[in-house]
Amino acid sequence: MQIRSRGSFPSKRGVAHLKQAIVNVGTVVTGRLEAARTDVECIVMEDGVISYMGSQGVDLTDCGIVADANGSTIVPGLIDSHVHVVLGDYTPRQKTVDFLESYTHGGITRSITASEVHAPGRPKDPEGVKALALMAQRCFSNFRPGGMTIHGGSVIIEPGLTEKDFEELKRQGVWLAKAGFGNFARMKDASQIVRDAQKHGFKVMCHTGGASIPGSSPVTAEDLLAMLPDVSGHVNGGPTALSDGDLEKVIRETSIALQIVQAGNFRSALLATKLAKEADQLQRLLIASDTPTGTGTMPLAVLKSAVELASFTDLPAEWLIAAATGNVGLAYGLDAGILEEGRPADLLIVDAPLGGTTGRALDAMKNGDLPAISGCFTSGQLRYLVSRNTPPPKKPTKVVQENLKIWM
């Protein structure tokens, strides 16, 4: 079953039953590092948020849809904090359409732009980069492919941008910035502009490691320690990693969020995870995709990275899920990524894959297997049952009550 949502959501005036619920829940992964699991039998969602988490003894007769999770695991919807959106559900880098809608079938319910740097012929003057960011912010505010929330519009930091520019953009709704691609002799020369952006509440991500596309420059630990961005984008390389010494400096000498990506260096990802654990800094660890890039479009990129790190380290699988959910929300100041009452109702029903050697989703991850997604809710609305991009589940989710009424 799939309820398609290629563009904007229907309004409340057009849908009679926005209230939906999940029953027969097994384990709930909260999205937090502390209290990472909780025992809940039923989750109710209404008006886009979680309105109830608790026992099954609650009246559900007024729900439009009730899904039976069949004892499966519930996790927060994944937040990909490094997606190179441009305009609409199209990537010029790989000439691919509908990639974002496909990412929802990889469990990604929210994407954060890593800047629209892949726009063909992108502008590099201050007025041009501001216009590009504002256009993307406006467009993605009204576009929900597959039900995904997209935080689009990241101003690319270029010489000539002033504090007044960031003040104006913030007033217009732009709050993301990207360093590492500007026309600077050395990337640390962008430090004052980064400070100006942060002064006005911008979350600044910086390219990290070797050059990724023609016209870009390497970014070293020296640059990062001078700029102090909020997020070290692809700290394990995008695709070329920092030296091990530089990586350790960033982890031990700063409080910058450490974004690990699938389109990077896996050996460096393992080292970053190890160093973050030793420094008691796992709350800074983020998992993202860094796609679409030369690596391609990868709907399962975030889930795959979480599985790889779970199976190659001694960290619990639920902690790696937190790195792709609650940690991201914390780093970007979002309310999303954690399952509790009052939070956005973006969540996944996941299970062990059919034919696998394990019986539960978290055990499958520790075994190195991709879990099956057997249900996806965004803004409290069921988007699909059974992902087309993961294996099928051992215990399928079923709709046991359906009472949707739509009028014009």
Give the pLDDT of residue 405.
61
Split into its structural domains, the chain has a count of 2
Give the pLDDT of residue 11.
40
Claim to verify: residue 277 and residue 381 sit in the same structural domain = no
What letters, b where the CB count within 10 A reaches 16 and e where it falls short, cover 88-110?
Answer: ebebebbeeeebbbbbbbbbbbb
For residues 9 and 52, the answer to whether their CB atoms sit within 8 Å is: no
Q: Two tokens at 241?
A: 């990693």
Query: 130-133, long-range: CB within 8 Å, 24+ apart, which pairs?
Result: 130/155, 130/161, 130/165, 130/168, 130/169, 132/156, 133/169, 133/174, 133/176
Claim to verify: residue 72 and residue 186 sit in the same structural domain = no
Give the pLDDT of residue 403.
84
Give the pLDDT of residue 108.
98
Sorted by sequence, the CB contacts under 8 Å of residue 399 that are 6+ apart come out as 1, 65, 66, 67, 68, 382, 385
Last residue of a domain, one of 315, 332, 349: 332
Last residue of a domain, one of 300, 332, 364: 332
Environment class of residue 122 by beta-carbon count within 10 Å: exposed (0-12), middle (13-18) or buried (19+)? Answer: middle
| Domain assignment present for 176 | yes
| Domain assignment present for 188 | yes
Claim to verify: residue 324 and residue 342 sit in the same structural domain = no
Q: Which of 27, 108, 109 is nearest to 74 (CA)?
A: 27
| Domain assignment present for 1 | no
Give the pLDDT of residue 53.
98
Q: How many alpha carbons lie under 13 Å from residue 262 in its C-beta half-sphere? A: 26
Claim to verify: residue 49 and residue 89 sit in the same structural domain = no
Q: CATH number of the domain at 298, please.
A: 3.20.20.140
Last residue of a domain, one of 332, 362, 384: 332
Claim to verify: residue 70 and residue 105 sit in the same structural domain = no
Claim to verify: residue 159 and residue 296 sit in the same structural domain = yes
Claim to verify: residue 213 and residue 362 sit in the same structural domain = no
Claim to verify: residue 267 and residue 397 sit in the same structural domain = no
Which stretches does DSSP call E strand in 250-371? 257-261, 285-288, 347-351
Nearest-angstrom CA–CA distance, 362 and 321:
10
Give φ, ψ of 288 to 5 degrees: -140, -175
| Domain assignment present for 164 | yes
Give the pLDDT of residue 55.
95
User: SS3 of 246, please?
Assistant: helix
Q: CATH number of the domain at 38, please.
A: 2.30.40.10
For residues 330 and 324, the answer to whether their CB atoms sit within 8 Å is: no
Claim to verify: residue 49 and residue 97 sit in the same structural domain = no
User: SS3 of 301, please?
Assistant: helix
Claim to verify: residue 93 and residue 230 sit in the same structural domain = yes
| Domain assignment present for 408 | no
| Domain assignment present for 362 | yes
Domain of 25? 12-76+338-402
Claim to verify: residue 116 and residue 252 sit in the same structural domain = yes
Q: Which of 325, 333, 314 is nearest to 350 (CA)?
A: 325
Sorted by sequence, the CB contacts under 8 Å of residue 302 that are 6+ apart come out as 78, 80, 106, 107, 108, 262, 287, 288, 289, 324
Q: pTM value? A: 0.94
Which stretches does DSSP call E strand in 289-371? 347-351
| Domain assignment present for 407 | no
Claim to verify: residue 313 and residue 379 sit in the same structural domain = no
| Domain assignment present for 5 | no
Q: Two tokens at 296?
A: 């391609």
Please list the pLDDT of the chain residue by residue as tens digits (408 residues). Answer: 554 433 433 444 444 458 999 999 999 999 999 999 999 999 999 999 999 999 998 999 999 999 999 999 999 999 999 999 999 999 999 999 999 999 999 999 999 999 999 999 999 999 999 999 999 999 999 999 999 999 999 999 999 999 999 999 999 999 999 999 889 989 999 999 999 999 999 999 999 998 866 666 799 999 999 999 999 999 999 999 999 999 999 999 999 999 999 999 999 999 999 999 999 999 999 999 999 999 999 999 999 999 999 999 999 999 999 999 999 999 999 999 999 999 999 999 999 999 999 999 999 999 999 999 999 999 999 999 999 999 999 999 999 999 876 543
What letters, b where the CB count within 10 A reaches 16 and e where it falls short, cover 305-319?
Answer: bbbbbbeebebbbbb
